[in-house]
Amino acid sequence: MPHSVAGPEIERLIQLLARLPGLGPRSARRAALHLIKRREQLLGPLTEAIRVAHERIVVCSECGNVDTADPCTICRDERRDASIIVVVEDVSDLWALERAGALTARYHVLGGVLSPLDGVRPEHLNLDKLVARAARPEVREVILALNATVDGQTTAHYITELLAHMPVRVTRLAHGVPVGGELDYLDEGTLAAAIRQRTTF
C-alpha cells in the first residue's frame, strides 16, 4: 500500500480534485501541487470563488437553469425573445447553445431525458413547468434541442404529445452531417438521416 507523502489536508484536497470530470488521481496530484505553489494567486481566490458559488447558486424556478439569482439571468433578460422556448436536457447543453449564439430565446432545462435503464421517468423531469410555460399567450414556438439519441428523441416525441393540444409550433434540431464531418467516417444512420432531410441548394 503506497504511503502518503503529504498531510491529510493535502491528501483530502487531492481526493476531492480527483472526483472532478477529466481528472484522475495522477492529474489531481498535479492540480493540487499547482494550487499549492500558487497559494496566493490561485488557491486563495479559487477557495473564495467556490465558497461564494456554494452559498449563492440556485436553480431557476422558471427554467431550471443554474445561476446566482432566481429567476436566472437569461429569464430576466428583457431583450430575449419570449415567444421561443428552447428545451434542453442539461445546463451544459444550454451553455453550448449560448456559445453558438444562434438565437436569443428563453430556455427550459429538463434535467435529463427518459431513460428506463437509469430509471428516469416523466415525473423525474421538469415537464409540468414546461407545459405551463408553453401555455402562456406570448409563446409561439418550442424548439426541442435534445440529443439525437434514442432516449433524447423518445423524450422529444413525448414532449410533442404533451404539447399537441396547444397552439404552439413544436420544432426540433436538424439531424445530419456535422461541419467538418467527412462522409466516409460517418455512421450509416447519420448519413441516411442527412439524405432524408436534404435541403434545396
Partner 1 sequence: MHWSDEGLVLGARRHGESSVILELMTREHGRHLGLVHGGRSKRLQPVLQPGNSVHATWRARLDEHLGSYVIEPGATRSARFIDVPLALYGVGALAALLRLLPERDPHPALYEAATVLAGHLDDVHVAPALFVRFELVLLAELGFGLDLSRCAATGRADDLAYVSPKSGRAVSAEAGAPYRQRLLPLPRFLLAGASGRDPTAEAVKEGFALTEHFMRVHLFEPRGLDVPEERARFVAAALRAAAAPDV
Contact residues toward partner 1 (CB under 8 A) are 21-22, 114-118, 121-122, 148-151, 153-154, 157-158, 160-161, 175, 187-190, 192-193, 196
Across the chain, the runs of DSSP E, i.e. the strands, are 58-59, 66-67, 81-88, 105-109, 141-144, 169-172
Q: What is the dihedral of CA 169, 174, 175, 176, to 10 degrees?
A: 160
Least distance CB 8 / partner 1 (angstroms)? 26
Least distance CB 3 / partner 1 (angstroms)? 27
Residue whose C-alpha cell reads 422558471 in the numeric block: 62
Least distance CB 58 / partner 1 (angstroms)? 26
Least distance CB 20 / partner 1 (angstroms)? 10
Q: Which is nearer to partner 1, 49 or 192 (CB)?
A: 192
| Chain Cα centroid distance, residue 145 | 10
Least distance CB 42 / partner 1 (angstroms)? 24
Q: Which is nearer to partner 1, 79 or 196 (CB)?
A: 196
In terms of C-beta distances under 8 Å and separation of at least 24 residues, what long-range contacts does 54-62 make, across chains too? Answer: 62/129, 62/133
Q: Which is nearer to partner 1, 10 or 23 (CB)?
A: 23
Which helix (H) or strand (E) segment is 39 a member of?
none
d(CA 82, CA 107): 9
d(CA 79, CA 76): 9
Exposure of 142 in the CB half-sphere (CA atoms within 13 A): 27
Residue 49 in grid coordinates: 470563488
Q: Which is nearer to partner 1, 81 or 118 (CB)?
A: 118
Q: Which is nearer to partner 1, 83 or 154 (CB)?
A: 154
Q: Which is nearer to partner 1, 100 or 117 (CB)?
A: 117
Least distance CB 115 / partner 1 (angstroms)? 8
